[in-house]
DNA sequence: CTAAAATATAGTACACTATAACACTATACT
DNA sequence: AGTATAGTGTTATAGTGTACTATATTTTAG
């Protein structure tokens, strides 16, 4: 377990948005108002966001959206790799590494709820013989430096 | 990513049960009928089991249990490290490595739903400086050798 | 042995998370 | 314009999990 001291920059919401637009464009999909708004809410949040919180935040500008509305946007965005789902929190976070797909690895502070994203190195020692990995969920929960006091 | 060909034995439900009893004993906790029954249902299942399926399987022998009943048993068992929760499936599996705590790593076939448990080596390259990991969720989804055909 | 403390069970009610199914609208393309 | 496709709105419901209260059962200490 090696501590990591080199800098990991964090993209601004504006940068994230620009990337999202571009990826969407390259894939020939439409970055609609709704999708943009949902993405922005996630990108501007300080931590992982829950689907029903997004739902609340869409009101009243987008009428009274129902769950499928937000889940469709979430599916779309995660299908393009623009956001990740944090499985153990039932929450969503904007991808900080938007250039190209990668295996995301999260470090989540249980005190301040901050989340750090890394790209996992696929040094998995002990894959069952012949197992073809399609998707990985890697989430670490603990206490961050700031909260250790 | 190194394929792993050495043998990983799988414990029988009987062995799992014996270990569970022992761990429970060592901790001075009570392995009650309810807890034993829930543990057995999980240990005898071929794959991860969902809480509400357990609930169904407890009937009618244990009356008409309500969700809190099964969740309490699940909390107890996972608190002792006897079962693990598979986060992305909302499901539970008996721990195959019951001697001592470890970081579990799962390989789950999306076709046959079989699950292989490994002990994760904590070679995490890039932990944020000062982050103290308390709990890790590591789950790989894909296609197993048998289903690759 | 008995009372107090700790542990375990039961149940109600509700909160939170997610999807199926169907109707409708907007956009893209010849 | 007409058709195919993609996107959105809505209703209803399924699936997952917990807060809270009450009761019963050990275990421990006096």
User: Which residues of B are less than 8 Å from A128 in CB distance?
Assistant: 3-4, 107, 116, 144-145
| Nearest Cβ partner for A107 among B1, B4, B127 | B127
Q: Is the CB of B72 under 7 A from strand D?
A: no
A72 touches strand C (CB under 7 A): no
Residue B124: burial class (beta carbons within 10 Å; 0-12, 13-18, 19+): buried
Name the residue in chain B with its Cα closest to that of A115. Answer: B128
Chain A: residue nearest B139 by CA?
A137
Q: Which domains does chain A have, with CATH numbers?
A: 13-94 (1.10.10.10)
Q: What integer is the mean pLDDT of B10-24?
A: 94
**How many contacts, defined by CB atoms under 8 Å, are there between A and B?**
150
Using pLDDT thresholds of 50, 70 and 90, give the confidence band for residue A8. Answer: confident
Q: In what order do the strands lie in the sheet with B91-94?
A: B49-50, B91-94, B83-86
Q: How far is the CA of A49 from the C1' of C22 (A)?
A: 29
pLDDT at A121 over 80: no
Whole-angstrom CA distances from A21 to A18, A24, B115, B121 are 5, 5, 38, 38
Distance CA(B16)–CA(B10), nearest Å, equals 10
Residue A7 in this model has a pLDDT that exceeds 70: no
| A134, pLDDT greater than 70 | yes
pLDDT digits (tens, 9 = 90+) for B38-74: 999 999 999 999 999 999 999 888 999 999 999 999 9
Report the percentage of chain A scoring pLDDT > 70. Answer: 92
Residue B125 pLDDT exceeds 90: no
Task: Decide: CB of B29 under 7 A of nucleic strand D.
Answer: no
Among the ranges given (A29-33, A81-85, A99-103), the one the predictor scored with the smallest mean pLDDT:
A99-103
Residues A138, A87: Cα–Cα separation, whole Å = 9
Q: What is the pLDDT of residue B120?
A: 84
Q: How high does pLDDT run on average in chain B?
A: 91
How far, in Å, are B97, B126, B143, B147 from residue A105 at the CA level?
Answer: 24, 10, 21, 27
Instruction: Report the distance from CA of residue A85 to the C1' of nucleotide C19 in Å, as an integer.
Output: 17
Is the shortest CB-to-strand distance from A34 to strand D under 7 Å?
yes
The candidate with the shortest Cα–Cα distance to A34, out of A73, A75, A74, is: A73
Q: Assess whether pLDDT exceeds 70 at residue A3.
A: no
Q: Which helix (H) or strand (E) holds A57?
A: helix A51-58
Q: How confident is the model at residue B99 (pLDDT cuts 50, 70, 90)?
A: low
* Cβ B45 to strand C below 7 Å: no
Give strand C nucleotides closer than 7 A to any protein Cβ. 7-14, 16-21, 27-28
């Amino acid at each position: 377990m090696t501590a990591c001291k080199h800098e990991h920059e964090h993209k601004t919401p504006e940068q994230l948005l620009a990337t999202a637009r571009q990826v969407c464009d390259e894939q020939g999909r439409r970055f609609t108002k709704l999708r943009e708004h949902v993405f922005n809410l996630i990108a501007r949040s300080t931590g992982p966001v829950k689907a029903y919180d997004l739902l609340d935040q869409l009101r009243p500008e987008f009428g009274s959206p129902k769950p499928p509305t937000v889940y469709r946007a979430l599916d779309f965005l995660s299908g393009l790799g623009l956001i990740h789902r944090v499985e153990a929190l039932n929450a969503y976070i904007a991808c900080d590494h938007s250039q190209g797909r990668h295996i995301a690895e999260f470090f989540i502070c249980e005190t301040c709820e901050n989340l750090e994203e890394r790209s996992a190195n696929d040094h998995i020692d002990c894959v069952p013989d012949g197992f073809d990995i399609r998707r990985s969920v890697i989430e670490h929960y603990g206490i961050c430096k700031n909260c250790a006091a």
